[in-house]
Amino acid sequence: MIFFAATAIWIIEVLVVGQARKRPGEYDHSEIHARVLTIDAQDVVQGTVDSLPDGLGGVQVIAEREIDVDGATVHVVPEEFTCEARRKARAVEWARRNAPVDEEFVLYLDEDTIVPSLPPFPDVDVVQLMERPVRTGSWLCYFAEIFRMGFQIEQRTFPRFCYPLYAWGGGFAVKANVENEVTWDVPTVTEDTNFIWRAFADPDREMAVLPVKLLNQAPPSIRAMITQRRRWISGAALDSHLLPRRYRALSLLRNAAWGLVVLSPLLLVPAVTPVSVVFLPGIYQLGILVQVVCLFAWGFLGYWYYAERFRVLLGLFLTLPVVAILHAAGAFWAIVRPTSTFEVTPKVPPTSVTDEVVRDAILDRGVDTDEQPRGEEREEPMTKSQ
């Protein structure tokens, strides 16, 4: 029932609430200052900086150790700097205080975020760019990212909600004055989602989701993917107190549905044991059918979002039951034993990535945008009109 309820909510989001209206771009590259966050991955960061379009107001690299990056100003966070924030958020908070910008927007990029194109930004408080993870190692991890992108097309509806349900910090822009008002100075392991939840406590905040797909790296191994997902769900659960009651219940329900996919093989038990007599056959069969259809639908949506080769779709569909369980394993681990620590997902330089799309993006600056479908509504209703 938890999975069924979460799925119904997703369908309502995408088909009923729908995408917010398109906002005109009002701030060109000269009004955008990029900040790339890293510990010391010099070669990885250089690929990200090389992918940035010309004409940006400035490019900063915020690092934990001394590195050399052409085309950017490198700032190293002093070891003695202290604040409430930890790890990545600590570095961002130091940058906010000690490396101020004059431009209207600060664009945050992860160390592995390749930027094929960057449209002008609309006049909103927060701009969320979309992602397209590329393969760096395990095919199962890559399939899990395709599957995740199928579900994550819901991001396009977030501008209609009073509180966006999560954020992706690898391609996330915020007005400098809003950043200085909200700050990053809180203890959290998911600083991007925590920030956006605190920012949207102000009912007048607005956001836009732009259709450009920035390229980032899929986890190279199943272990790295599980650890990453565990951190995401742990952070969302630990920070859920920031949300109004209705949004808190929605967030926890969705995360529970994600994690409990790990237990989905147990649905087969009644079919092969005498305990089937305690189940209503119609309800039992409907539950299995809904789960199977939705898993494959999200897989196909992810394939469509990626515009991948047909053989990738075949590989995804052949492995999807295993992929879905592996994708949910970190979320289930977070439910059983949440973490408050942060482990960096390993990255490789862009020239080492097996997916040629990264090299093409750097060399050709290929545009990767698409037209989005359309769709509208604080506790408060759950959504707001724009």
pTM of the model: 0.88
232-259: average pLDDT? 94
In DSSP notation, 72-109 reads SEEEE--TT---S--HHHHHHHHHHHHS---SSEEEEE
Which residues, in sequence order, are CB contacts of 337 under 8 Å at separation 6+?
none
Q: Is the pLDDT of residue 362 over 80?
A: no
188-206: average pLDDT? 96
Which residues, in sequence order, are CB contacts of 89 under 8 Å at separation 6+?
184, 185, 186, 187, 188, 191, 194
125-149: average pLDDT? 96
Which pLDDT does position 375 carry in this prediction? 37
| Bridge pairing between strands 171-175 and 73-76 | unpaired
Q: Is the pLDDT of residue 149 over 90?
A: yes
Confidence of residue 38 (pLDDT cuts 50, 70, 90): very high
Q: Is the pLDDT of residue 276 over 60?
A: no
d(CA 13, CA 137): 33
Phi, psi of 264 (to 5 degrees): -60, -30
Q: Is the pLDDT of residue 331 over 90?
A: yes
The angle subtended at Cα 326 by Cα 323 and Cα 328, nearest 5°, is 110
202-230: average pLDDT? 95
Domains in the chain: ranges and CATH: 19-138+148-218+353-364 (3.90.550.10)
Q: Which residue has the tokens 């000269």?
A: 30
Nearest to 293 by CA among 176, 150, 191, 197: 150
d(CA 177, CA 30): 17
Confidence of residue 289 (pLDDT cuts 50, 70, 90): confident
Q: Is the pLDDT of residue 196 over 80?
A: yes
Which pLDDT does position 20 carry in this prediction? 83
On whether the CB atoms of residues 105 and 179 are closer than 8 A, the answer is: no
- Token reading at 144: 């899990």
Number of H helices and E strands in the chain, helices first, is 12, 7
- Token reading at 361: 């993006």
- Token reading at 355: 């997916």
Confidence of residue 3 (pLDDT cuts 50, 70, 90): confident
Which residues, in sequence order, are CB contacts of 282 under 8 Å at separation 6+?
none
Question: Over the stretch 51-99, which tens digit does the pLDDT of each residue have?
Answer: 999 999 999 999 999 999 999 999 999 999 999 998 899 999 999 999 9
d(CA 287, CA 157): 27
User: Which has the minimum average pLDDT: 58-67, 132-141, 277-286, 373-382?
Assistant: 373-382
Question: Over the stretch 291-304, which tens digit does the pLDDT of each residue have?
Answer: 889 899 999 999 99
